[in-house]
A and B are shown apart, each in its own frame.
Chain A
Amino acid sequence: MSRLPHGTENNNHCRWETQVSSYLQGELSEEERLQFENHLRRCLYCQEELTQTKELIQHLKEVSEEPLLRDLAPEILKKIPQGVWMTSNRRVNLMRTHIFFMVGAVACILLILFSLWLEFPKNGKRPERNHLSNNPLDEKMEELLLKSNAITDAIDWLVKTQEPSGFWDAKKWGGHKDYTVGLTALSLLALLNSGKDSDATQSIIAVERAVKYLIKQQSDEGYFGPQCGRTMYNHGIATVALLEYYGISKDERLIKPLDRAIKYICTTQKKNGGWGYVDGKENTSISVWPLLALGLAQKMGCRSIQENLEKGIAWIKSMFDEKGYAGYSQRGDFPLGPETLTSMASFLISLYSDEKADSHGCEIDSGVKQSLEQIAAREDSNINYYRWYFLIQALSTCDTQSDKWIDSLQKELIKSQVKKGEHSGSWDPNDCWGSVGGRVYATALATLSLQLKEGAQIRPIR
């Protein structure tokens, strides 16, 4: 493009003029400022723009402030429960607790130093270190740090890739477009769980946008997402995510949409208690999400769905065979293996049922244990994001020595996270559902799998 003298394109416009306000407000970098000042020396148009804009800004600042007629602090304090504030008694108790822990920490440090001193050979040579640290505390700290960093990077990726309208584009990231709503809801769940793992401001913005987007996706019939064979996946996950959000925020905007969403779940429950594809039979895979939603709603005080929930849980229990494996649409039906189905079903029952064993007396736990043994036996540990998410959830609620398995699965996830390049922070969609869910599916579920703290991740509403 040829340049007119002084960069002016015509008498009414100069391509540098958009820099004027940034220059006046000190928003240009050093290099930009020098370039602009250089241009300014030769451009009458920009000189005039600068003068006029400077005057305008000065006049704008002269607009008087509205005086504050009263102190709003007392009124705001009335709206906050008194119990959250620190009283002098609690302060004293807290100080005592701090002192106690400090003394304990000092004692631990001294003990560690003493142990190291004992271990250090008198001849001055360092002992050969194997690949495992001799100090389990160090190892644990390092693992926690790696996990925390992995979650932070994942959340950053999710925030970065959210569309301005609040959704994550399934097709853009290698998945099927019909799952956009479900994937947005999974990403929202990951953000809601991110807490201190990420930049708060960006997280809050992303959460708000995702919530607004999901609300707008609700149809007149009450389901979220497009009407298609995958409706209940989208709807179930979206309802769970919005219930979780409501539990945190108590945002009244959600009351009506959630009412309608729960109603839709109840009215589409099939006669045996499960849910399925639009014209298909009930199956465990689809039934889990609407049941999770009903369970959450019940914990929030919604009593009208009690019968639906009980019927659904009863149906899920009926899917277990004598060995403790859950079938797909009936007992013993494992089109893609029993591991994922068993993990999902066991997790559900652990959350919303008082019993761990089904009416036939078999132990659900044994099915989960068997799944673990099978996964552990695979040397290459092929990731299955969907299965591993539910497996980790189920392991945390089962009465097994589950920590080592959870750690092992999480370590594999951390190892496989993309560390460099444009996809840094995400996971490659290289499992059996990768072509359906794409990178957002892989990343959201991997993040949720790492975020597990104590107990079930989908927790009772506070």
Chain B
Amino acid sequence: MNNLSDVELMNQIKKGEQEAFVSLVRRYQQPLLNFFIRLNANNTDAEDLVQETFLKLFNYRFRYERTAKFTTFLYTLAYHSWVDYKRKCGKVLTIESEIQSDEHSVVDCNTPIHTKINLKDALAKLSEEHRTVIVMSIYSELKHQEIAEILGVPLGTVKSRIHFALKQLREILSYEPITTRNGK
């Protein structure tokens, strides 16, 4: 089972093979856990979210088509679990705010410039939209097109958000360039 591809495992799951489902869970539970933690869930909630994602995967198993990329499917379910979780936490994340958020939204940069700050905290300081694209593209290694499909935004929006998120991270981290502005 461990040698089967994601698509092959999904086909087995559709046929009712429990072992295939377990293989898929074990293959992706760690990446999903980190996905949710990097989005800013605590460990306990992140585990719950991983479980919820796999339950959704099971419930929607017949809607998965082998021509579609599996990671897009999985992370779409994960992202929706995350959105529901945020709503239950009282942090309303409406569709409008997801899609139409200001690209130049102010980052909470309470930390003075030149004070060292670790990367985890820096990520946490990003706005929801920017943190999401960073986590998806850099940690989950999803393609920009996939991210666009998952979030339901245009490809250009994803690219812009990544660009601005990285810029903001550099500001937060007071990033010291290894080269000077005058050359290498």
Q: Which residues of A contact B (CB under 8 A)?
A: 17-18, 20-22, 25, 27, 44, 48, 51-53, 55-57, 59-63, 65-66, 68-69, 71-73, 75-77, 79-80, 84-86, 90, 164-166, 195-196, 199-205, 208-209, 212-213, 249, 253
| 0/1 string, B143-184, CB within 8 A of A gives 1 | 110000110110000011011001001100101011101010
Q: Measured between C-beta atoms, what is the minimum distance from A290 to chain B in Å?
A: 28
Q: 18 A-B contacts, Cβ less than 8 Å apart?
A: A17-B163, A21-B159, A63-B38, A66-B34, A71-B29, A72-B29, A72-B54, A76-B54, A77-B21, A85-B18, A164-B95, A164-B100, A196-B62, A196-B63, A205-B76, A205-B149, A205-B152, A213-B95
Instruction: List 4 other contacts, CB 8 Å, given A55-B175, A201-B149, A205-B152.
Output: A20-B163, A57-B138, A63-B123, A203-B63
8 shortest interchain CB distances as A-B pairs = A86-B16, A200-B63, A85-B18, A164-B99, A73-B25, A18-B163, A73-B22, A63-B119
**Contact with A61, one of B76, B123, B138 (Cβ below 8 angstroms):** B138
B8 within 8 A of partner (CB): no
Residues A48 and B18 in contact in the complex (CB < 8 Å), given A68-B30, A164-B99: no
B40 at interface by CB-CB < 8 Å: no
What per-residue 1/0 map shows which CB atoms of B93-129 lie under 8 Å from chain A?
0011001100000000000000000011001000000
A166 touches B170 (CB 8 A): no
Closest to B50 in A: A72
Bound complex: CA A57 to CA B29 (Å): 24
On whether the beta carbons of A79 and B55 are closer than 8 Å, the reply is yes
Chain A residues whose CB sits within 8 angstroms of the CB of B153 once the complex forms: 164
Considering the complex, give the chain B residue whose CB is closest to the CB of A72.
B29
Shortest Cβ gap from A58 to chain B (Å): 10
Classify the interface of chain A: helix, strand, loop or mixed. helix
> Per-residue CB proximity of B24-38 to A under 8 Å, as 1/0?
011001100110011
Which residue from B80, B166, B169 sits with its C-beta under 8 Å from A208? B80
- B43 to chain A minimum Cβ distance, whole angstroms, is 7
Question: Is B72 an interface residue, CB under 8 A from the partner?
Answer: yes
Residues of B within 8 A of A66 (CB): 33-34, 37, 43, 46
Interface assignment of B15: CB less than 8 Å from any CB of chain A: yes
* Minimal beta-carbon separation of A245 from chain B (angstroms): 13
Of the residues A18, A63, A72, A196, contact of B159 by C-beta under 8 Å: A18
Which of B54, B64, B160 lies in contact with A18, CB distance below 8 A? B160
Nearest CB of chain B from residue A78's CB, rounded to whole Å? 10
Picked from A22, A48, A69, A204, the residue with its CB within 8 Å of the CB of B76 is: A204
Asked if B6 is at the interface of the complex by the 8 Å CB criterion, the answer is no
> Are B18 and A204 touching (Cβ within 8 A)?
no
A245 to B141, CA, bound (A): 32
Whole-angstrom distance between the alpha carbons of A60 and B173 in the complex?
A: 11
* Interface residue? B47 (CB, 8 A): yes
A201 and B137: CB pair below 8 A?
A: no
Which of chain B's residues have a CB closer than 8 A to the CB of A22?
Answer: 144, 159, 162
How near does chain A come to B61, taking the closest CB pair, in angstroms? 10
Q: Judge whether B162 and A72 touch: CB under 8 Å.
A: no
Evaluate whether A209 and B166 lie within 8 angstroms (CB atoms) in the complex, with A65-B34, A201-B76, A249-B59 already known.
no
Asked if B25 contacts A76 (CB within 8 A), the reply is: yes
Report the interface size for chain B: residues with CB under 8 A from the other chain. 67
CB–CB A52/B30 < 8 A: no
B contact residues vs A (CB 8 Å cutoff):
15-18, 21-22, 25-26, 29-30, 33-34, 37-38, 43, 46-47, 50-51, 54-55, 58-60, 62-65, 67-68, 72-73, 76-77, 80, 84, 95-96, 99-100, 119-120, 123, 134, 137-139, 143-144, 149-150, 152-153, 159-160, 162-163, 166, 169-170, 173, 175, 177-179, 181, 183
Chain B contacts of A77 at CB under 8 A? 18, 21-22
Which single member of A20, A72, A165 contacts B95 (CB below 8 Å)? A165
Q: Which residues of B contact A52 (CB under 8 A)?
A: 170, 175, 177-178
A256 CB → nearest B CB, Å: 14
Q: Which residue of B lies closest to A83 (CB)?
A: B16
With A76-B54, A212-B95, A249-B59: A59-B119 Cβ-Cβ less than 8 Å: yes
> Chain B contacts of A204 at CB under 8 A?
60, 63, 76-77, 80
Contact A71 B166 (CB under 8 A): no
- Residues of the A chain whose Cβ atoms lie less than 8 Å from the Cβ of B73: 200-201
CA of A305 to CA of B67 in the docked complex: distance in angstroms? 44
Residue of A nearest to B145 (CB): A27
Task: Report if A48-B179 is in contact (Cβ < 8 Å); known contacts: A66-B34, A85-B16, A200-B68.
Answer: yes
Asked whether, in the complex, the Cβ of B62 is within 8 Å of the Cβ of A195, the reply is yes
Shortest beta-carbon distance from A167 to chain B in Å: 10
Nearest CB of B to A87, in Å: 9
B159 touches A60 (CB 8 A): no
Residues of chain A within 8 A of B163, CB atoms compared: 17-18, 20-21
A55 CA to B100 CA, complexed, in Å? 30
Given A71-B29, A201-B72, A212-B95, A53 and B179 touching (CB < 8 A)?
Answer: no
Report yes or no: B166 in contact with A21, Cβ–Cβ below 8 A.
yes
Q: How far does the Cβ of B42 sit from chain A's closest Cβ, in whole Å?
A: 10
Chain B residues in 8 Å Cβ range of A249: 59
| A203 partner residues in chain B, CB cutoff 8 A | 63
Contact of A80 among B55, B64, B123, B149 (CB under 8 A): B55
A357 and B104 CA atoms in complex are apart in Å by 66
Q: Which residues of A contact B183 (CB under 8 A)?
A: 44
What's the least CB distance linking A76 to chain B, in Å? 5
Given contacts A60-B134, A72-B51, A200-B60, contact A209 B95 (CB under 8 A): yes
